[in-house]
Chain A
Amino acid sequence: MRGRLWRLAVSLFVLGFLLNLAGIVGHVVVSSFARRWFATPVPSAFTTEWYAYAWREFQLDQVLTVTLTVAGTVTAAALLLGFPAAYLLARHEFRGKGPLLLLFFLPLLVPQMTYGIPLATTLYRYRIGGTVAGVIAANLVPMLPLAIFVLLPFLEQISVSLEWAARVHGATRVQVFRRVIVPLALPGLLTAGLLVLVNTVANFELTFLLSGAGSQTLVVALYYAVFAAGMRPIYSVDAMAVIYMAVVLAVLVLALRFVRPTQMVFRLDRRD
């Protein structure tokens, strides 16, 4: 039956894609443990020395610290700034809400290279370029809207009558926020926070444009290492790549405990 043929084709495609993915990732992992590897299915000899090498040569202790600092700060800032904004957008209709939503959407729509270059120019001019602070500030530009749009549906779900009930029975606005809204928004905050975290760790373009020697995140350091691959053995670069993967996987595993895979990409049904 045609239906079954279709399904078979789709299954084969998905399988192929996943195998492809496994190959891509697997190759990097195997290479990182190879002493020498040329055109054979498996390296002739294995070693773990590249990891220590990479750690030293690429200054991974510093890079890791920077990565975690940047990711943590951006996440915290995005939630702190984004939560009140999302709350407001979820509760109120007002003139100018449309353009405002567009303003928030633009950093997600426009590619980072397009606005990153003017942004870098501006930040370098004000001497923040090349610093960790500059990297954090730049990453917050797309991450703040991300946090807002992830939080929005969660906050819309909290019925207004709960706030009314609290207010009628004596709670001030601040108390309503603290005792009713924040506890009920916790799942949303968690989801938004984890998504921002995952995205910031992997975010390349903005960090690339804004970072200096001491303010590179793992992914940017990896880029430079690959770029200058002639200078260092490829195995050490792959070792660094594996370390990067480990960090990403750690965050991803944490995120997937609370977030469904389909939630990790942009929610289409909200926008239309």
Chain B
Amino acid sequence: MRIATLLLPSVAYLLVMFVFPFAYGVLLSLRPGTGGVSPANYLAFLLDPWQARTIWVTASIAVPNTIVTVLLALIVAYAMRRGIRGERTITTALVLPIALGTVLVAEGINGFYGPKGWLNQALVGLGVGEPTRLTHNYTGVMIALFVQHFPFCFLMLLGYISGIDPALEASARVLGAGAWAVFRRVMWPLIAPGVAIAFALVFVMNFGVFPSAVLVGQPAGATRTIAIAAYQQAFEHSDMSMASAIAVVMGVCQLAGLGLILVLRRRMAGTGVATMGAGKR
């Protein structure tokens, strides 16, 4: 069957390199170092406050950050939906953090936002007072994540919002709706699905935060995320079984978060009217 031969390599690759290791990891997590098949790893993780708190830490980073990122990205993208002077320059500039990646942005933040960096120098110079500690702590990680994910989220939403037929807005205005009414009654129902997806993607990216938490945060303290815990188990303690268990817990938390987003979205979307009128690009 031709269909099978064209698809087979890709499907096989993902089955072997994604599904299988995942399944293997789950199985491994149930075979703790102490022997036998048991959920001992999971219990150990969840009952150890030092480990279990990583869930809370990660959530306390991911949730606020996602909300702020998506909200701001939505506002800016919505404002720019009909084009703005210099849009090409702005969008090109915003591609930069995405292309540069997490490590470079983290390092740059350590420099720019550091105690001796330009930002603090400027604040001191302007007489705003003694520099606040913005790096190697929770704040640093929040800044880093925002700088990385805002452009990504913004570009996604910009593309999505621009794709909506401008005639819809125009007809609403002609019928008497002001800017806020247009947003609430016409645009938001159409944009909501895209925002939900953006929210989900950014949340997942934030929840898996690793290099930023290490380089710009306090990996041993305030920003010890669950990814760090998993990594330490794998490469510092060589306990692959436990590391897999933590990875599974991480995955479950993300799924739970995604599930919550889906439920909220369904509540918001209401009728199928939400997807009508989303024009093609």
Contacts and interface: CB of A to CB of B under 8 A. Distances in A.
A21 interface: yes
Contact of A107 (B18, B91, B215): B18
A87 B208 contact: no
B6 interface: yes
B155 A85 contact: no
Interface in B1-23: 2-3, 6-7, 9-11, 13-15, 17-22
Contacts of B231: 113, 117, 209
**Most chain B beta-carbon contacts within 10 A, residue among A118, A121, A252:** A118
A226 B21 contact: no
A115 B230 CA distance: 11
Interface stretch (B42-50, B165-173, B193-201): B193-201
Best-surrounded residue of A115, A138, A144, A241 (most CB of chain B within 10 A) = A115
B76 A10 contact: yes
B210 A113 contact: yes
Interface in A176-202: 198, 202
Interface in A247-261: 248-249, 251-252, 256, 260-261
Contacts of B197: 268, 271-272
Interface string B137-176: 0000000000100101001111110110000000000000
A268 B194 contact: yes
Interface residues of B, number: 96
Specify which of A28, A173, A252 lies most central, judged by the most chain B CB atoms within 10 Å of its CB. A28
Contact of B14 (A87, A94, A107, A114): A107
24 contacts: A14-B76, A14-B90, A25-B96, A85-B10, A100-B11, A104-B14, A109-B204, A110-B251, A117-B246, A118-B25, A119-B25, A138-B17, A144-B14, A145-B14, A204-B211, A222-B104, A222-B107, A223-B103, A237-B107, A245-B104, A251-B99, A261-B94, A261-B155, A268-B198
A214 interface: no
B177 interface: no
Interface of A: 2-3, 6-7, 10, 13-14, 17-18, 20-21, 23-28, 31, 38-41, 81-82, 84-85, 87-89, 92, 94, 100, 103-104, 106-107, 109-115, 117-123, 137-138, 140-141, 144-145, 148, 173, 198, 202-205, 208-209, 219, 222-223, 226-227, 237-238, 241, 244-245, 248-249, 251-252, 256, 260-269, 271-272
Given A13-B76, A118-B244, A223-B211, A27 B112 contact: yes
Q: Which 8 A-B residue pairs are closest in the complex by CB-CB distance?
A: A118-B25, A111-B208, A202-B101, A24-B108, A261-B91, A84-B6, A85-B10, A27-B111
Interface in B227-281: 227, 230-231, 234, 240, 243-244, 246-247, 250-251, 254, 275, 278, 280-281
A161 B200 CA distance: 38
Nearest to A260: B91
B51 interface: no
B205 A111 contact: yes
